[in-house]
Chain A
């Protein structure tokens, strides 16, 4: 089973679960996994090129706030063991040459699969792209995954030194890719290093050797968009096969030809043929590279739900901000900044140090939109529709016919809301009588009966997925599941008292789902490519859960200033 390396390296509790099981095992954190493995002996002898990163990880991880929840450990069965057969836990453990070689083999196979008719339709970014241009889509996906993986690997470094080392490692990978004329993966790596999340890590970049920096500059220069990608076009013309080109510019050229020379115009076919011919030539490339299955498996294990890419990037960016909190913009001078700079890391909202926030009204807008966009991700839909998430009235009578245990009356769902979570004036507008607000619920912020269905588990669709009833509680940044005692009933007493699963909300985001049934929300973890659907019984309950989970996420990522919100 291919591992989800992204999930492995995530700094959250990892819950391993099997649908329909009563017990859940709590997975240890990634660094611990590594140690377990090491304790387990030499059975996983992957070449260790730079294993210092692992040692460093051990010393820094426990400071992570998520760690406190580990003490609630459930039976510590390690059900991940089967996935450690051939372990490569970090890019640093594979030489740049091996990474570049194996990426190239994987890219080549995918690239050669692309058919001319996929390209001439110009439909690889349309709704029907998967049927019309499946190989173009797959090739693009490879690009994004390589890029995503590069960013994640760098951010996973436990110390600045480790991150710099990984960064340098990827520059070396880039150089090897250049030597192989694999411009596709090379651009993916270069893009990763230029992504908002990595580009801003000034201190990390500062640790690079001059040689590495210069190397990176040379690589990046190749992909400058200047003068219609002249550097890249010239380079492509200058080299001989084998070569895997960056497909993107060809796609743009085709789109432009499609518009400039619409169907029926005299030059269309000839102009498109020029592009297709060039690509066909590249497709004849052969590489004399021996496959290394362990490395290929590792590289192939990068997976996530494509639709969630945006959220994923947001998470990476947040992690980046956490690793190197934004410092005052250099154009700003004055003693205030230098004082602020000493402020404890992560204690301020991003950009709160930037000068714009001291400029009066002009700064308010960014503050609003930015914070919203950064930390209330799941409300984007609502915002885009211009609706207040709590302001909508709704029908909570709606029952879901598809629910297996159809006898459950969702109207009986009970939600308990602690007084601090959502302002009452907002809630009272729309909450139906089926949702009870109780202020005495101290140990959890919100609880209620929900049904859950697994849509995606670590990048795979479960073969059998059904709606399961749970009593769900949020307290702190932890979501606790209690399995049901009986087939029906939505009161607390209908569920077991011992929890069956604890989920740290870090890395998870909730989205209200508009659809046939208005009571659903979705909980996603892009790092582990896991996606659940929840039914709550009413729209307001669903929205309440979403907002609550959001609040928690925001809290764990960046606490808002005390004067705006309190988090007792």
Chain B
């Protein structure tokens, strides 16, 4: 069971999306375990949960990564729904994976019904510049069109790995505080429009 909300630090739910083989799991493992990756136990309940200090505040990050299940397209809607922020990962060496980000973005927006959902476009495998097949311009252009940050990472060299998770958590945090401010105010701003539970 989840720790009691009053006792536990704020939990930020991050979802990794992207095609198979772009390095989602490598990024996750790097961030979660760093050099202690040997400790990783796939089936433990807290394997993807970690306490971190975000700008002086202790928070918990919960990462959902369905690496390996990319072809189980039918399950996406539901777990996207549970996410508070998304790292949309592609490999800069693989244009198809870059193309796929478009679909992931669309699907996330559809499910969350929220264009301001915390979201980072992440170009992974930045260590493989010589094999680069997705031009930087295209990446930044897409990120600008979506109005989301673009960051290049390397799970291998650990370049920017912490940055993407922390940047996303900051967005989630600021989003949450916007929301609570909005819900305390008299009139909710459109910005705070969240996907309400429509059933049950």
Contact = CB atoms under 8 A, between A and B. Distances in A.
A267 B49 CA distance: 22
For chain A, what secondary structure do more than half of its interface residues adopt (helix, strand, loop), or is it mixed?
A: helix
A362 interface: yes
Given A126-B21, A200-B198, A251-B68, A259 B106 contact: no
Most buried by A among B43, B65, B70, B200: B43
A137 B73 CA distance: 12
B160 interface: no
Contacts of A275: 42
Interface in A88-129: 122, 124-126
B109 A366 contact: yes
A365 B44 contact: no
B74 A191 contact: yes
Contacts of B145: 369
Interface string A182-201: 00000110011011100110
A366 B115 contact: yes
Contact of A227 (B46, B78, B107): B46
Nearest to B19: A125
A205 B199 contact: yes
B190 to A, nearest CB: 4
Contacts of A213: 200
A256 B29 contact: yes
**A: contact size bracket:** 35 or more
A248 B75 contact: yes
Given A126-B21, A191-B77, A359 B191 contact: yes
Interface stretch (B50-58, B97-105, B123-131, B168-176): B97-105
Interface of A: 122, 124-126, 137, 140, 143-144, 147-148, 187-188, 191-192, 194-196, 199-200, 202, 205, 213, 217, 223, 225-228, 230, 233, 248-249, 251-257, 259-261, 265, 267, 271, 275, 309-310, 313, 317, 329-333, 351, 354-356, 358-359, 362-363, 365-366, 369-370, 373-374, 380-381, 383-386
Interface of B: 2, 19-21, 25-26, 29, 33, 37-38, 40, 42-49, 64-75, 77-79, 81-82, 98-99, 102-103, 105-107, 109-111, 113, 115-116, 138, 141-142, 145-147, 187-194, 196, 198-200
Given A126-B21, A248-B75, A373-B106, 16 more contacts: A144-B72, A199-B78, A205-B199, A205-B200, A217-B200, A223-B78, A227-B2, A227-B49, A228-B46, A260-B29, A275-B42, A351-B113, A358-B190, A370-B115, A386-B138, A386-B141
